[in-house]
Amino acid sequence: MQLFLPILMFVAASTVLAGGLLFLGGLIGPSRAGKVKEMPYESGMDPIHDTRRRFDVRFHLVAIAFLIFDVELLFLYPWAVASRNPQGIDAAVSAGLIGSRGLVFAEVIVFIALLALGFVYALRKGVFQWR
């Protein structure tokens, strides 16, 4: 709790600042509405069609690829931190929880190799090709 209290205070302070600025602007600034002013701005053209329509599936593909690689990266973080940390892998080895350092390293290399394999597969499939 004591660890996160300053963060909560910071988030609260910055939200209040942002909201307060908007409120202040609403108080001070003028307010005049108009028919043309309320139209969507499209460089002077009268807008045609609705905005909410189907959009390109490529964006969906990027999102999926992101999810896969980001989760794989998240798996690497605990190892990266534990690797040199005195309370990390070395402590676990001397406590007898893991066989040896080399085993962990080999597993991670295999994991990265699998990740690279998946990357090559996606690349050959043309997932990253923006057509």
Query: What is the smallest separation between the CB atom of 108 and other proteins, expressed in angstroms?
Result: 7
How far apart, in Å, do the first and last CA atoms of the chain sit? 50
Least Å distance, CB 95 to other proteins, is: 18
CA distance 102 to 85: 16
Return the percent helix, strand and coil in the chain, to nearest 5.
65, 0, 35
**Lookup result for tokens 């599936």:** 57
Toward other proteins, which CB reaches closer, 35 or 96? 35
CB of 96: closest distance to other proteins in angstroms? 20
**Side chain identity, residue 120:** V
Nearer to other proteins, 53 or 96 (CB): 53
Between 71 and 95, whose beta carbon lies closer to other proteins? 71
Shortest Å distance, C-beta 103 to other proteins = 12
Residue with smaller CB distance to other proteins, 63 or 97: 63
Amino acid, res. 26: G
